[in-house]
Amino acid sequence: MKRSTGASRRRSGPGVWAIIGLAVLATGLGWAAGCGSAPEIVSKVASGDTDAVIAARGLTPDDVYAAVKTFVPTGQKDDYVMFSSGGHSGQVFVIGVPSMRLLKVIGVYTPEPWQGWGYSDETRAVLAGGNVRGKEINWADTHHPALSETGGEYDGEWLFINDKAQARVAVIDLRDFETKQILNNPITTSDHGGTFVTPDTEWVIEGGQYAAPLGTAYASIDKYAEEYRGMVTFWKFDRQAGRIDPDRSFAMELPPYWQDLCDAGKLVSDGWVFCNSFNTEMATGGIEEDNPPFEAGASQRDMDYLHVIDLKKAEELVAAGETVTVEGMKMLPLDVSAANGVLHFVPEPKSPHGVDLTPNGEYLVISGKLDPHVTVFSFEKIRQAIADGAFSGTDDYGVNIVDFDAALEKQIELGLGPLHTQFDDKGYAYTSLFLDTAVARWSLGGKSAGSHGDPDWTLIEKIPVHYNVGHIVAAEGDTVSPDGGYLVALNKWSIDRFLTVGPLHPQNFQLIDIAGTGESMKLLYDMPIGVGEPHYVQMIKADKLKAWEIYPEIGWNPLTQSKDEHAVMIGEEKVERRGNTVEVWMTAVRSHFTPERVNVRKGDNVIWHITNIESAKDATHGFALPGYNYNLSLEPGESTTIEFEADLGGVFTYYCSEFCSALHLEMVGYFLVAP
């Protein structure tokens, strides 16, 4: 095989070409029956066809390295799985790394027809949990997915995600990758600092965003300082039940600053929660009345306030009944929090956005959108300053402000528009730079110094990304033990990057190799994603996920994760009439529904139980009932019940909407609605 000099100088040496040869060989062997014999394939590689392909496609050695590094041959599996916010789609995307292949779209806040999400009674009931004061909402602005943790490590069991637009949180069970619960926060109208979990997932944190009167109250904007409030909510997660328990959850009333992102303490800072804020100016807009516009009014001060919350103390006060109730939610009043030292502020520069704890829980990295530095606070120093009463004053609401210099560990100049920070296994931090459109790698110092051998708290290098980068994610990069290896930049829009598909450009996930030390970050892969706008993503080791391939028992109800009381077993199929109610017990199996005819009269109440009685992995059946807006996805073993009024007269064919077998088209029945 010919070698280009460029390739032979690569850090990875001749391995690249050897691997390519092997990959082509392996693929060739797989195809051997249809595409010529193995010896022919070997001779093709040996004769330099690979080089010819590389030359014809104009690939550089870096391209070839990236291709080999990310290529996952057919049948092989990815090392990591990313759970990405689906942005406005209200869904969650599941993506393999390093292949960047989309594995699944999980329906969360919005209907997803293939999975029958929102097209069965049970899934509609979950979606209805997110209704706002009874009003159906059929979109979301999902921002931050959070994997459940045990001891600060992802445990692969649960996933949570917020909806900024309507202040909602959702719970997804990673046994079947289905949403189980959606809750609407009753005391606020928008959120942002969520979802984040405490190290053992006792609490799912939902911080607010835009201050408003609490609950459903109205107050004129002239009464902003008196009547508008921010908040953070601690949702109690009951792992046994697999649900958030609203009765054991509580909120904290906060000043009407706009709380932004939060992070939970871990290890040394376990039991504390940190949320930053902006608009401590309490700008209320009104450019039409000659007020400064929000973007100027909310950016006048050099410092806003990092909210430092003693969660353990808050829990004690809640247990002691120091709460008020707003719209059914327990809430710790602001004056109680301030007086009892539950809440402290630390000044943070300048238009803060991200707050991220280092893996050891000792340092907080704050990114100010208008400050070229990241600001690193020491948790130990903050706690000492609180203990010593080293305050520089109080805010208008009586909250003590920790002296900035007393809390500060370091400020590191990285570049323009720093937003979000992740970590690796070597003691490096990575920060997205929105205005620079780059990712900065910098070395942690102090108690976080790693094995990188670089001087403490130093910018090491930057890699340009395309285009404006928001969040970044590294492998397990916000846990107590990040993996390193891969980082993905979540870029907004992708000007000039892909084929033009109209004026709304795809988002762009860029996979970056961070396995090396020093100046060695390499761009590996561009993944345009035509659904937006994903904000945050988490990346978990694939082998931590223990998802079911089929449901554990025939007759399974995914909502209760147990056998359904109405499950229909083989031989139990029947149609019964009681007055105006017709009850159907049906089974689905390749390739028929039993019964195949259901006769009702217009206006009857129909109760229809359907069980997929198969236990083969590839035996999902759909159940489409046209006109009645039902489309069920019945995974092997799954059972569900629908109930409706037969208000459309005529003859309808219910059919299987999943190509399940050679006789799938025959998997059909007649639903006859007589006048």
> Residue numbers of the site for ligand CUK (CB under 6 A)?
143-144, 192, 261, 353, 419-420, 470-471, 535-536
| Residue 660 contacts which entry, ligand CUK, ligand CUA, none (Cβ below 5-8 A, type-dependent) | ligand CUA
| Residue 353 contacts which entry, ligand CUK, ligand CUA, none (Cβ below 5-8 A, type-dependent) | ligand CUK
Residue closer to ligand CUK by CB (options 350, 471) is 471
The long-range contacts involving 278-284, CB below 8 angstroms and separated by at least 24 positions, are: 278/304, 278/351, 278/352, 278/353, 279/211, 279/304, 280/255, 280/304, 280/305, 280/395, 282/224, 282/225, 282/256, 282/257, 284/221, 284/224
Q: How far is the CB of 465 from ligand CUK (least distance, A)?
A: 13
Residue closer to ligand CUA by CB (options 623, 652) is 623
Residue closer to ligand CUK by CB (options 252, 261) is 261
Q: How far is the CB of 200 from ligand CUK (least distance, A)?
A: 23
Helix (H/G/I), strand (E/B), else coil: 597: strand
Q: How many CB atoms lie within 10 A of CB 502?
A: 5
- Which two three-digit tokens encode residue 306? 């990092």
| Residue 183 contacts which entry, ligand CUA, ligand CUK, none (Cβ below 5-8 A, type-dependent) | none
Could you say which residues in the range 145-174 bind ligand CUA, by CB under 6 A?
none
| Residue 621 contacts which entry, ligand CUA, ligand CUK, none (Cβ below 5-8 A, type-dependent) | ligand CUA
Q: How far is the CB of 670 from ligand CUA (least distance, A)?
A: 16
HSE, CB side, 13 Å, CA atoms: give it for residue 455: 3
**Site pattern 269..308 for ligand CUA (x: CB under 6 A):** ----------------------------------------
420/477 Cα distance (integer angstroms): 11
Q: How far is the CB of 160 from ligand CUK (least distance, A)?
A: 14
Residue closer to ligand CUK by CB (options 367, 443) is 367
Q: How far is the CB of 591 from ligand CUA (least distance, A)?
A: 6
C-beta nearest to ligand CUK: residue: 470
Residue closer to ligand CUA by CB (options 79, 658) is 658
Residue closer to ligand CUK by CB (options 349, 636) is 349
446/462 Cα distance (integer angstroms): 22
| Residue 535 contacts which entry, ligand CUK, ligand CUA, none (Cβ below 5-8 A, type-dependent) | ligand CUK
Residue closer to ligand CUK by CB (options 197, 646) is 197
Q: How far is the CB of 190 from ligand CUK (least distance, A)?
A: 11
533/87 Cα distance (integer angstroms): 4
What one-letter code names the amino acid at 594?
T
| Residue 313 contacts which entry, ligand CUK, ligand CUA, none (Cβ below 5-8 A, type-dependent) | none
Q: How far is the CB of 91 from ligand CUA (least distance, A)?
A: 24
Q: How far is CA 177 from the centre of its chain?
A: 13
- Which two three-digit tokens encode residue 48? 């330099």
**Distances from the Cα of 337 to the Cα of 213, 215, 234, 309, 329, angstroms:** 19, 19, 14, 9, 17
30/18 Cα distance (integer angstroms): 18
Q: How far is the CB of 420 from ligand CUK (least distance, A)?
A: 6
161/171 Cα distance (integer angstroms): 7
Dihedral angle at the C-alpha atoms of 643, 648, 650, 654, nearest 10 degrees?
-40
Could you say which residues in the range 535-594 bind ligand CUA, by CB under 6 A?
591
Residue closer to ligand CUK by CB (options 140, 261) is 261
Three-class secondary structure assignment of 146-164: EEEEECCEEEEEEEEEEEC
Please name the residue that has the structure tokens 């004056």: 335
Could you say which residues in the range 613-672 bind ligand CUA, by CB under 6 A?
621, 656, 658-660, 664, 667
Residue closer to ligand CUA by CB (options 262, 656) is 656
**Distances from the Cα of 61 to the Cα of 8, 237, 314, 614, angstroms:** 9, 50, 57, 50
Angle at 282 between CA 279 and CA 287, to 5 degrees: 95
Residue closer to ligand CUK by CB (options 192, 609) is 192
What are residue 264's DSSP bridge partners?
273
Q: How many CB atoms lie within 10 A of CB 95?
A: 24
| Residue 105 contacts which entry, ligand CUK, ligand CUA, none (Cβ below 5-8 A, type-dependent) | none
Could you say which residues in the range 91-120 bind ligand CUA, by CB under 6 A?
none
Q: Does 175 bind ligand CUA (CB under 6 A)?
A: no
| Residue 656 contacts which entry, ligand CUA, ligand CUK, none (Cβ below 5-8 A, type-dependent) | ligand CUA
Q: How far is CA 309 from the centre of its chain?
A: 24
Q: How far is the CB of 126 from ligand CUA (least distance, A)?
A: 24
Residue closer to ligand CUA by CB (options 177, 654) is 654
Q: How many residues bind ligand CUA (CB under 6 A)?
A: 8
- Which two three-digit tokens encode residue 606? 């129909």
| Residue 419 contacts which entry, ligand CUK, ligand CUA, none (Cβ below 5-8 A, type-dependent) | ligand CUK
Residue closer to ligand CUK by CB (options 143, 426) is 143
What one-letter code names the amino acid at 474?
A
CB of 424 within 8 A of CB of 474? yes
Interface with ligand CUA (CB under 6 A) = 591, 621, 656, 658-660, 664, 667
